[in-house]
Amino acid sequence: MVKVTYVAADGTRTDVDAEPGSNVMQTALDNDVDGIVGECGGAMMCATCHCYVDEDWTGATGARNDGEDDMLDCAADEVKPSSRLSCQIKLTEALDGLVVHLPEEQA
Amino acid sequence: MPLAPVDETVSIGDLVRDPYPIYRRMRAETPVVRVPSVKRTFLTKAAHTKMVKDDVVRFSSNDPTTPMEPAFRAHTLMRKDGEEHRRERMAMQKAFTPKVIKTNWAQLYRDITDRYLDRLPRGETVDLYSEICAPVSARILTHILGLEGASDEEMMRWSQQLIDGAGNFGWDPKLFEITDKANDEMDVHIAACAERLRAEPNDSALSLMVNAADPIPWSQIVANIKIAIGGGINEPRDAMATIVYGLLTNPDQLEEVRRQEAWGAAFEEGIRWVAPIQASSRLVMEDTEIGGIDIPKGDIVMSIQASANRDEELFEEGEDYHVFRDKNPHQAFGTGPHHCAGAHIARRTVGEIMMPELFERFPNMSLPDPEAIVWHGFGFRGPLSMPVTLN
């Protein structure tokens, strides 16, 4: 299992055990984590799974995928260098312990 | 596994009048069911509608027998998948982002809403549907798309005619004659607007598309604008009228919405309760199985989001309007790659501007005869009028 911590905009932390191979958006939905909507189901066609990767983890999660920048322009909340679409962060053992912060607004 | 059971009893007329008791029965008895009158296999459970829309490999958007194609005289992005769909959608998506709405348009939308509210007489009964819901949606959309010069009447008529054509599952040729004429008119107006926007660009969807460094083909620019006309007036109109009805027939909820300023939640619940777009088709690309039923390649399944939105597995008392639900995972905007491109706009215009301004202006508005409201539609659904007494 891969441990992922979601930090809500109000600071609430939720720890979740994820299946390797899943992604950060789907894992949130599967575990009822509020603050990630994922309306397009991971097709990179909405920006309602926007998250900020914790600064300790930006190296491990890597660069944005093709098309992700364009879609992030459509995010409801501020886009920062650490912004990602969480559907595009695939969970591997290397991301065990990952921390992501959630924006105030998704839709 | 068995093939889908066949329901010969359901007619299009029944579905247009009131599909909800039919869907409730289907969810309980035959959640995956062939409906010969519509020539499609209905999927009535939320898990199935979501799964089908998220999986464009097994379930293609390219329904070959869609009335949309003759209605729009185009193969639109709604019937495409993959890269082609992405490219056409992204060509105008940036005109619809929360940031663009907030910084460029929100004040204009407020002014438009105010102007139309100013025209209403106090102390009388007026049809909000025709006086506010439809024309305000039309006026706002004219600006979003870059179609200045089109009247409210034209925008509303084009939208209605496109929708009637796209929902023409009975393939009545008369409806396509009407859409042909509307298409001729729209083609002329869109071309004139494009010429103006090439000279004077702005943040509208049409301007963005015609002035792009690597524009999509003109035929697809026009088709995209038509899709937005079809989807950008009737849906906010029907959503708004439905929410007004939901709040005025549940005064305790209205009071609480006011207290908490929970207009966003009132909006989400309205479109869950009666989704303006109720159903969408997908072509089955390989032999597959849904809910223990064999679905053969070439079948056309219909995702009934109207039914998914009342699925007992997700919603308690789903047949009723309840703003303050713990969670509201409705599918009114669809799911998957074809998730509504106008969702942000709808939430902000209807939920954050139109609804609060209306109830602020007329705090004691009442609905004299809720029973007299006629609800109508199978593919697209809403009330046909919303007469309220203003004071």
Asked if B149 and B118 count as a contact pair (C-beta separation under 8 A), the reply is: no
Min distance A21 CA to chain B CA atoms (Å): 17
Distance (Å, rounded) from C-alpha B96 to C-alpha A107? 12
Asked if B116 and B377 count as a contact pair (C-beta separation under 8 A), the reply is: no
Q: Is A30 on the interface with B (CB under 8 A)?
A: no
Min distance B390 CA to chain A CA atoms (Å): 32
Partner residue facing A41 (CB), from B54, B89, B96: B54
CATH of the domain at B330: 1.10.630.10
Confidence of residue A17 (pLDDT cuts 50, 70, 90): very high
Residue boundaries of the structural domains of chain A: 2-101
Asked if A103 and A49 count as a contact pair (C-beta separation under 8 A), the reply is: no
Q: Least CA distance to B50: which residue of chain A?
A: A41
- For residue B136, which of B353, B293, B385 has the smallest C-alpha distance? B353
Q: Over pLDDT 90: what percentage of chain B?
A: 93
Q: What is the DSSP letter of B218?
A: H
pLDDT of residue B65: 79
- For residue A42, which of A100, A82, A86, A5 has the smallest C-alpha distance? A86
pLDDT of residue A67: 86
Asked if B165 and B67 count as a contact pair (C-beta separation under 8 A), the reply is: yes
**Is residue B196, in this structure, part of any structural domain at all?**
yes
pLDDT in tens, B247-258: 999 999 999 999
* Torsion, Cα of B161, B164, B166, B167 (10° steps): 170
**Is residue B291, in this structure, part of any structural domain at all?**
yes
Helix (H) and strand (E) counts in chain B: 19, 11
User: Number of structural domains, chain B?
Assistant: 1
Q: Is the pLDDT of residue B210 over 90?
A: yes
pLDDT of residue B104: 83
Distance (Å, rounded) from C-alpha B231 to C-alpha B365? 28
Instruction: Look at residue B379 and give its three-state secondary structure.
Output: coil
CB contact under 8 A, A45 and B336: yes
pLDDT in tens, A29-71: 999 999 999 999 898 999 999 999 999 999 999 999 988 998 9
CB contact under 8 A, A74 and B97: yes
Structure tokens at B137: 């949606």
Partner residue facing B336 (CB), from A43, A70, A76: A43
Distance (Å, rounded) from C-alpha B50 to C-alpha B40? 17
Confidence of residue B63 (pLDDT cuts 50, 70, 90): confident
ipTM computed for the complex: 0.86
Distances (CA, A) of B239 to A45, B124, B134, B243, B277: 23, 23, 10, 6, 10
Asked if B381 and B239 count as a contact pair (C-beta separation under 8 A), the reply is: no
Partner residue facing B90 (CB), from A39, A70, A76: A70
CB contact under 8 A, B337 and A45: yes
Average pLDDT, chain B: 95
pLDDT in tens, B256-302: 999 999 999 999 999 999 999 999 999 999 999 999 999 999 999 99
Q: Least CA distance to A33: which residue of chain B?
A: B327
Residues of A in contact with B94 (CB under 8 A): 70, 73-74
pLDDT of residue B351: 95
Q: Least CA distance to A78: which residue of chain B?
A: B99
Question: How many CA atoms lie less than 13 Å away from B309 in the CB half-sphere?
Answer: 28
Residue numbers of the domain that contains B196: 12-389
Q: Least CA distance to B343: which residue of chain A?
A: A107
Structure tokens at B243: 């929410």
Please, what's the b/e burial string for B158-184 (b: 16 or more CB within 10 A of its CB; e: otherwise)?
Answer: bbbbbbbbbbbbeeeeebbebbeebbe
**Which residues fall within 8 angstroms of residue B176, CB to CB, at 6 or more apart?**
B67, B70, B71, B165, B168
Q: Is A74 on the interface with B (CB under 8 A)?
A: yes
Partner residue facing B339 (CB), from A40, A75, A105: A40
Q: Is A56 on the interface with B (CB under 8 A)?
A: no
Global pTM reads: 0.93
pLDDT of residue B135: 97
Identity of the residue numbered B102: K
DSSP states of B343-362 as a string? HHHHIIIIIIIIHHHHHHH-
Min distance A71 CA to chain B CA atoms (Å): 8
Confidence of residue B169 (pLDDT cuts 50, 70, 90): confident
Min distance A93 CA to chain B CA atoms (Å): 26
Distances (CA, A) of B83 to B87, B95, B128, B190, B337: 6, 20, 41, 25, 11
Which class would CATH give A2-101? alpha beta
Q: Over pLDDT 90: what percentage of chain A?
A: 86
CB contact under 8 A, B336 and A105: no
pLDDT in tens, A83-96: 999 999 999 999 99
Residues of A in contact with B97 (CB under 8 A): 73-75
Structure tokens at B206: 């049409």
